Amino acid sequence: MIKKLYFAIIFRFTNWTFNFWQALGLHIIPNHFYQPVPDTRFIPESLWDKKSDMIGIEMNDSMQLQRIQDFKSKFYDEYNQFLITPPPQLD
């Protein structure tokens, strides 16, 4: 009963404050079995120790590098217009 009440309060609080967190650049998602984002508290550090063989995945490095060059030649002027730093705040 108390656990259910606790989760109900947390759910309402996060829904009520969602826009506040978004404005700070934080995206709140539930930690639930049906959510696609894993609970990183339970991922062991050892997971990152072994390099994956990526069986069944062909990275095709040379083609990927060529793809980057193609994008650069076609879209450089466009994406170079993005600001590296945020613009000054207008009052």
**Tens digit of pLDDT for each residue in 43-60?**
899 988 988 888 999 999
pTM of the model: 0.38
pLDDT at 91 over 70: no
pLDDT at 75 over 70: yes
CB 27 within 8 A of CB 21: yes
Q: How many domains does the chain have?
A: 1
Task: Flag whether 58 is in a domain.
Answer: yes
Task: Flag whether 40 is in a domain.
Answer: no
Q: CA of 64: how far to CAs of 8, 10, 27, 29, 69, in Å? A: 47, 44, 31, 33, 9
Structural domain harbouring 71 = 2-33+53-79
Task: Flag whether 25 is in a domain.
Answer: yes
- pLDDT-derived band of residue 66, with 50, 70 and 90 as boundaries? very high
Task: Flag whether 43 is in a domain.
Answer: no
Predicted pLDDT at 67? 96
Task: Flag whether 90 is in a domain.
Answer: no
Q: Pick 29 or 57 by higher pLDDT.
A: 57
Task: Flag whether 41 is in a domain.
Answer: no
